[in-house]
Chains A and B, each alone.
Chain A
């Protein structure tokens, strides 16, 4: 049974941290792009949506170029802080964050755009600064759409495979998440192990989808 629980625990840990990171960035970016048009907004939007359409292996490759030991950023992380993200669960978190970011961002932007701008203006005339407008008005009014996006991002992060494999590899007990464990079990001909892993990940993902669907439904 540890063959099941170790990758499950790792998957939940990676997905949780990835959702926190993607959530923070996705909500902030969604709010920023929903505010008002600016030059290059559609280009920024396209860049943020790119992880959804690019093959995960390509994202993994980009990340190696960026945060690998000799990467553009990675060499400084290594030199200054002694941090190496390749073949670590933290690296898997980065990969899952990037891949699930578009889901939070898209959901948050749509939710913020649905909030009538007059509520924010009313708050401003009543003395609120921009941070207060965001925390007391825009965020609470958009929270359902945001929560639905965050749940989808969590489900996506749980199922992440390609970019994670490129960045974090397949180290049992260290970076081997459920989806990678399934792959390895099938490769090794361990059918019952593959079946159990598949059932677990399917159940969790179905639960998340049902919950996010309910949240979106309650909005309308």
Chain B
């Protein structure tokens, strides 16, 4: 119990600090052009990494499972210009369907 509270307190404080760092120190001021060119690429780089890891990542391994066909189906929906809501639902349905069939 006390271990749990210690973890909750430390992780909470550190996470709040990490999240605050940029906005508190640099908030509201435009970044230098050079830095801005770098930061502008953060969204595509991190989003692509989040897609990759959430689709293929396991416990210290790359795994092929029902998530991949779900995300591929989502890619088709995106290609067809489906709204984000439909894209997300398609991914969940395909993945759930494959898991239901595969048991």
Specify whether A and B are partners.
Answer: no
Q: Tell me the B residues contacting A by CB distance below 8 Å.
A: none
Q: Tell me the A residues contacting B by CB distance below 8 Å.
A: none
